[in-house]
Amino acid sequence: KKWTRALRYQSYSKWPPATQQALLATVSTSPWRLGYHIQSDSGLLNDPNGFAYFNNKWHLYYQNFPFGPVHGLKSWRHLTSDDLVHWQKTAGDLLPDSAYDSHGAYSGSALPLGNQLFLMYTGNVRDANWQRHPYQNGAVLDQHNQLTKLSKPLISEPPAGYTSEFRDPQIIAKQDQYWAFIGGQTNDKVGTILVYQSNDLHQWDFMGPLQLDQPKIGYMIECPNLIQIGNTTVLISCPQGLAQSTLAYQNIYPNTYLLSDQVDWENLTFNAQYSLKLLDDGFDVYATQAINAPDGRALAVSWIGLPEIDYPTDRYGWAHCLSLIKELTIKDGHLYQYPVSENQKLRTDEQQFNVQATPAPTVIQANSGQQYELALNLAADQEITLHIAENSDASAFFEVKLNSKTGVVTVDRQAAGEPFAEKYGTVRTSQLPAHHAITLNLFVDHSVCEMYLNHGYTTLTARFFPKPGQQQLSVSSPTTAELTGKFWQLNAID
Ligand code: FRU
């Protein structure tokens, strides 16, 4: 199929139901569908949106173009959950069906207000010359998951001095005001975060850009997101065109964070403790959305996928997934991310293993299945190479090297199955403290692997696309170490 602009942006009602049926049939033949990660029924999934706790349930939406694995006319798909693990679809989707979102209901966020969930999102509109006109729109979800759009935009144009790259509002309540943080770009093409305030959610005033004491942050900032953990403000964002001298990264665009305990909200200055850091050291995390949940936890969810990259599932009519829900904490000034404990409900068949120093490759699981959690401990000053999703002659595998002398963790997906995104390299590394024991918690789900090192001190997330029969988990290199750990099968969520 040739994905012309006309096809990508034609209204949903123009798609014949038979075409959608055929697409669903194609998706159902796909290898690599996921067992316990949120995925779309068909088409492309991207950013998490509108994450909230409201009406005694968790709410989460995702960006979706349902008719193919491309970025087309986007909507928000609505899910609710009792436990942050199992999710139900509702009819509360936010569809691109008005003059103020004619070319897509783009990303945004949610704020619970009494018996309504208030949504703020970007309405993407293109004119006859394909010029972009972004609107920041409002909608409310009621207690029956019925969604109603506000009839007029909340913010109708970018402020003077900024371009039409103006999207992804994060709305929060703070100091008796509503605040919105919106990704943007100055007229001279510098990425920025624009701050708005409102008393009533309807009249919004531009307060200025958030002043970051950082070098130029690329040409555009997508998905800005602020949360508070104790005294620390965490600013998550997706800078595009960021200089390598500012932050070394290999993905097309990085998902980054800054920490500060000196934010001056009066003057909109954010003085960071360190320069920008990668939120995830792996290949595929973007557009992370985090919230301060009413139970006191800071929770985050990421898009596992990247803009402008083809993935092997495209030919089966679908692309991408969301991450597990992660809890964010701060310890000794460092941001930790770890899947919420509710995920332990998925565990079954616990097994323990203990690999003694051995010169030969050792199979930990001959048939690991494709949905499992692995927890392992490596003592200080050791080195091991782990192969997950390995085939029987050990020619295909996803490789994880742990070096507890140097603290360097290396993942390589070069031999993991079907190649993709090789232009951006097949290896990623993560730095842990040297000469310390390493713990690894690794979640495999068919074609995604989320790795949490030292309880989430760093994370590495990767898609990989194994061929049939890659079912072995082994320690491949000669090891002097004693390796202990646990292994669980994980149940599917539907
Ligand atoms: C990030 C993003 C957002 C935009 C949305 C559109 O992945 O480009 O900036 O709102 O996706 O789907």
Strands 298-304 and 191-198 come out as: unpaired
Q: Is 47 known to be catalytic?
A: yes
Element (H, E) at 350: strand 347-355
How big is the CA angle at 391 (ends 388 and 392), to the nearest 5 degrees? Answer: 125
Ligand 1, pocket-test mutation among 8, 168, 194, most atoms within 8 A of CB:
168
Cβ contacts of residue 234 below 8 Å, gap of 6+?
Answer: 226, 227, 228, 257, 258, 259, 290, 298, 328, 330, 335
Alpha-carbon gap, residue 106 to 28, rounded angstroms: 27
φ/ψ bin of 103: left (φ > 0), alpha (ψ from -120 to 50), beta (otherwise): alpha
Alpha-carbon gap, residue 459 to 338, rounded angstroms: 8
Q: Per residue of the chain (494 residues), what is the pLDDT tens digit? A: 799 999 999 999 999 999 999 999 999 999 999 999 999 999 999 999 999 999 999 999 999 999 999 999 999 999 999 999 999 999 999 999 999 999 999 999 999 999 999 999 999 999 999 999 999 999 999 999 999 999 999 999 999 999 999 999 999 999 899 999 999 999 999 999 999 999 999 999 999 999 999 999 999 999 999 999 999 999 999 999 999 999 999 999 999 999 999 999 999 999 999 899 999 999 999 999 999 999 999 999 999 999 999 999 999 999 999 999 999 999 999 999 999 999 999 999 999 999 888 888 889 999 999 999 999 999 999 999 999 999 999 999 999 999 999 999 999 999 999 999 999 999 999 999 999 999 999 999 999 999 999 999 999 999 999 999 999 999 987 777 788 999 999 999 98
CATH fold for the domain made of 5-339: Tachylectin-2; Chain A (2.115.10)
Q: What's the pTM? A: 0.98
Looking from the CA of residue 223, the nearest atom of ligand 1 is 9
Per-residue burial over 337-347, b = 16 or more CB atoms within 10 Å of its CB, e = otherwise: bbbbebbeebe
Q: Are 208 and 197 in contact (CB under 8 A)?
A: no
Question: Looking at residue 477, what is its pLDDT?
Answer: 78
Which of 41, 47, 142, 264 is catalytic? The answer is 47
Summarize pLDDT for 188-219 with one digit per residue, the tens: 999 999 999 999 999 999 999 999 999 999 99
Alpha-carbon gap, residue 199 to 202, rounded angstroms: 8
Summarize pLDDT for 308-364 with one digit per residue, the tens: 999 999 999 999 999 999 999 999 999 999 999 999 999 999 999 998 888 888 899
Alpha-carbon gap, residue 408 to 430, rounded angstroms: 6
DSSP of 392-442, one letter per residue?
TTSSS-EEEEEETTTTEEEEE-TTSSS---GGG-SEEEEE--TTS-EEEEE
Q: Are 464 and 417 in contact (CB under 8 A)?
A: yes
Say what the ipTM of the complex is: 0.99
Residue 51: closest CA among 341, 304, 287: 287
Which residue type sits at 445? D
Indicate whether residue 87 lines ligand 1 (CB < 6 A): no
Summarize pLDDT for 171-193 with one digit per residue, the tens: 999 989 999 999 999 999 999 99
Tokens linked to 213:
């004491």
Residue 107: closest CA among 166, 67, 52: 166
Which residue type sits at 373? E
Ligand 1, pocket-test mutation among 76, 94, 107, 166, most atoms within 8 A of CB:
107
Indicate whether residue 106 lines ligand 1 (CB < 6 A): yes
Is the domain covering 343-490 a CATH 3.40.50.200 domain?
no
Delimit the domains of the chain by residue range.
5-339, 343-490
